[in-house]
Every structure is written in structure tokens, then in C-alpha cells.
Amino acid sequence: MPTSSELLPSWRPGATRDAVVGFLDAAAAVPLRDRLACLDNEGTLWCERPTYVQFDFFVDALKTRAGQDPNVAEVPEFAALLTGDRQAIATIGLERIATALAGLFAGLTPAAFNAAVQQFMARATHPTLGRPSRSNTYQPMLELVEALRRLDFTVAVVTGGGTEFVRAISQDLYGVPPEAVVGTLIEYEYRRGDDGSPSLLRSTGIIGAANEGSAKLANIQTQLGRRPIFAAGNSGGDREMLEWAVSGDGPSLALLVDHDDEAREFKYVSSAETFAEPEPITDVGRRLGWTVVSMADDWATVFAD
């Protein structure tokens, strides 16, 4: 079996890689039942700029719907998106816009929504990088996921995005099964057909809060049933998850991805979408002693082939 360091060929030698390898070596002594790793998706496992891939998926569906029915473009939320009116988008607010976009798929079965996501991902291209959207996963993080899996970790994706969208692609992109995806949950409506057969249909409501901040902890516990000893994130929406991962006894690691590579990706400090942060997450990570990954310095390769 390859050593921990051999499993991370895209990580440059240095303190960051040493910290990751040190954790992997120490985790071999952790009981199997405690080996849970939780990784954020957007900005941690794949590129989130200039817009989230899930947002692109909904806007793509909106454009298709507007082409079929021009009246759709008269809905204020949709008109703002279709015209790119940032002022109108800010005035309307992300919550109303997200609800309106979710309505485009209301009444679909889980299988139909899953197929729509996969069809979009098969043709979607990043608007500035010019790469297929599905290829914008981070090679070093894929190597880390594989290293965790070789140690028999349960690897979960814990995202602020919609659970069902990520479930449609998680197995293919990360080898993570749908049941190991924890995200913002859509409500389903139970229906019984004329022939008596049952069905579940998507609605526009969500269950509980958006999966950011402390909501990630509650959803990890309720859906996975245990605290992770490894967590990776990139924004203030991941802070509580990273803090929780290193709050117990024994080996643990909080990994924060810092987007400081303008040449190969983007340069920015990630922030939460649903609440204001009193302190930049990179400052928080360094202050709390997390392992902060410099994309520019620590990764020899950014994107998977």
C-alpha cells in the first residue's frame, strides 16, 4: 500500500503537507468507528467562482424555460437574473431568488431532478476558465479524499448547496455515495397516483435552515450520527464544522483552503452566504491554529485532468 506522502503527489513539500501527512499517519490508530471526514464542496472540492455551479444549473434551466414561455421573463426574480441587473438582485434578495429558482423544478420526482443535473453537468463549461465544469475539481483534494478512504474513513460532503444537486454528482466526482452528502434539504410532497402508486415530488420549501454555520453541525449529527475528526472548508460557513472537528480528544485536523492563486484559479477570501462574519475566515484559521492551505504555494497542480 502507498505511504501517506505517496498518495499526495500534487502537494508541494512543506509545513502544510507535513501536517496533512502527520494526521493521516496518526489516524491509522483511531478506531474505525471514529474515522469520519467531512469536506465542504464549493471552494473546497471544486471551483466556486465566478458563480456556484448549482446557480449556473438553475440559470440554465431558467433560460430554457424563458425561451419556451416568454411570460417567465416577467417574473421580477427571473427578470433580474436574465438581464444581469445586480441592483435588482440585491434588492430582491438571494432568499427570494433561490425560492423562485427552486420553483423551476417543483413537482419533479427525485429521479427526474437527478437526470436534469447529470444532463447539465455533461455539457456545462466554466465561463472564464474554459474547462468543462465537471473537470474543475481540485486534484490535491481528490488525492486527500483517496488517502482518507484508504484508511477506511467514511468520507462525507457537507455543503451549503442543495443536497440533491450534489448527490447527483458526488459518486462520479468524488466517490462519495448520495447518502453521505449533507446539504440544504428541499421539502418533498407525498402523492398517490390514480393507480394507487406512491411518489415524492419536489417543492419550493426547505427543511430547517440553509446548511451553513452551526446548521452544518446539527445536520452532520442528525444525518451521520457522529463528530468528524477531519474537516475541510474554505469559508466562514465552515467555521463551526472545522472547530467541532478539532474539539475532541485524539488525532484531528481542520483544513482551510485559501484561494490565493490568481494565476491558476482566483484570488479572494471566501465568506458565508447567509450571515455576516466578524472576522475573515483566513484570519480565524491562522489564529486558531488550523492548517491553512495556500493554493499558490502548497499545490503543485490545482485542477484534475
Tens of pLDDT along 42-63?
999 999 999 999 999 999 999 9
Grid cell of 51 as nine digits = 458563480
**With 90 as the cut, is the pLDDT of residue 7 above it?**
no
| CATH number of the domain located at residue range(s) 5-49+135-186+205-298 in this protein | 3.40.50.1000
Is residue 242 within 8 Å of 49, Cβ to Cβ? no
Nearest of 242, 238, 239, 237 to residue 273 by alpha carbon: 237
Residues 135-140: what's their mean pLDDT?
Answer: 98
Average pLDDT, the chain: 95
pLDDT by residue (tens digit) across 161-185?
Answer: 999 999 999 999 999 999 999 999 9
The Cα–Cα gap between 106 and 164 comes to: 13
pLDDT digits (tens, 9 = 90+) for 285-303: 999 999 999 999 999 999 9
Cell numbers linked to 199? 411518489
Q: Is 94's pLDDT higher than 90?
A: no
CA dist 25 to 33, 145, 258, 291, 296, Å?
Answer: 17, 14, 24, 16, 25
pLDDT at 304 over 90: no
Q: Quote the CA–CA distance of 44 and 302 in Å, as a whole number.
A: 11
The alpha carbon of 231 is separated from its chain's Cα centroid by a whole number of angstroms, namely 13
Give me the amino acid identity at 212.
E
pLDDT higher at 93 or 119 = 119
Q: What pLDDT shows up at residue 1?
A: 60
- Residues of the chain with pLDDT > 70, as a percent, come to 98
Provide the pLDDT for residue 3.
Answer: 65
Task: State mean pLDDT over 105-114.
Answer: 97
**pLDDT at residue 5, as a whole number:** 59
pTM, two decimals, is 0.95
Give the mean pLDDT of 193-220: 94
